[in-house]
Amino acid sequence: TLPDNGQKIIRMVRTPKDQIDIQEFVNLLESDPGLFTRILKLANSPYYRGINEVVSIRGAVTRIGLTDIVNTVSFYFFQKLLPRFPDVPGFTFDKYWEHSWACATACRRLGHPNLEMGVLPGDLYMTGMLQGIGKLLMAIHFPEDFSKCVRLAAKKQTALWRIERVVFGTTDNIIASKVLGVWHMPSQISEAVAFCHAPALSPPEHKTAAGLTQYAYAIVGESGVGDSGDCKCTEVAKTYFGGNPKLKIGQPETQEKLIAEIIESVTQNKEEPPQAR
């Protein structure tokens, strides 16, 4: 189940920066010693460290930036909420969360207004971060079968979800979507997760978010940041939106620049949230 402060964190991630109640955010963090300590540790890490030590949440917000700190809080929250799973070859706890953070970062970028896709960046951040939790649950409850899926996908050089469908009769993204439904996540997040590997099959109102999640997943696959256990991602140009020249993100020149920008961002900053535990 989702703790009470979970819904508050989700709401803040989905809220535009200029509409976030900073005092409410400060109160939320001060009521959770674990999150409070992690955020102060991050604000004083080599990546953000200034001349003076940060000792308050408001000081951390000033140093890190409101959008980044809200996103980071949500990342820490879900990383703490979801249990650790036994590492298997090709799928480890640390690499999984690195990959999830990179997907969240990439998804949020694809929600920028200059790409004209009409999806809230906060919704995309949540979708990117949580799209893989079905794999985490498979690894916890059925480690041998999931390890078999990872091995077979690597051996056959095919997408992991295709092997999961044979071994489990379902896919990790469908499982993730069901969990998000139990958590009362908005449908635009849970449905985007459900169809992130097959956006064309998504209900019309969720095709854009599902397609952008697939697009982000493909870029992160090219970046080499983290590991989702999936050795065969769809090429960006062959994703649902990547091959549509009517869209900005489907135009070769824009696509090339966007891929380079996102890969640079996630590779340069990969030491930030995932490694600040």
What are the tens digits of pLDDT across the range 55-72? 888 898 888 888 888 998
64-82 in b/e burial notation, b at 16+ Cβ within 10 A?
Answer: beebbbbbbbbbbbbbeeb
Q: How far apart are CA 65 and CA 173, in angstroms?
A: 31
Q: What's the pLDDT score for residue 86?
A: 84
Q: What's the pLDDT score for residue 269?
A: 65
SS3 label, residue 220:
helix
Q: What's the pLDDT score for residue 52?
A: 83
Q: How far apart are CA 81 and CA 6, in angstroms?
A: 9
Q: Percent of the chain scored above 90 by pLDDT?
A: 61
DSSP secondary structure letter of residue 91: B
Q: What's the pLDDT score for residue 18?
A: 86
Q: How far apart are CA 157 and CA 232, in angstroms?
A: 6
Q: What's the pLDDT score for residue 277?
A: 42
- Angle at CA of residue 64, ends 260 and 277, nearest 5°: 85
CA 165 to centroid of chain Cα atoms: 22
Per-residue pLDDT of the chain in tens (277 residues, 90 and over written 9): 788 888 888 889 988 888 988 898 888 888 888 888 888 988 888 878 777 888 888 898 888 888 888 998 999 999 988 888 888 888 999 999 999 999 999 999 999 999 999 999 999 999 999 999 999 999 999 999 999 999 999 999 999 999 999 999 999 999 999 999 999 899 999 999 999 999 999 999 999 999 999 999 999 999 989 999 988 888 999 999 998 999 999 999 999 999 999 999 998 865 455 554 4
Sign of the alpha-carbon torsion through 151, 157, 163, 164: positive
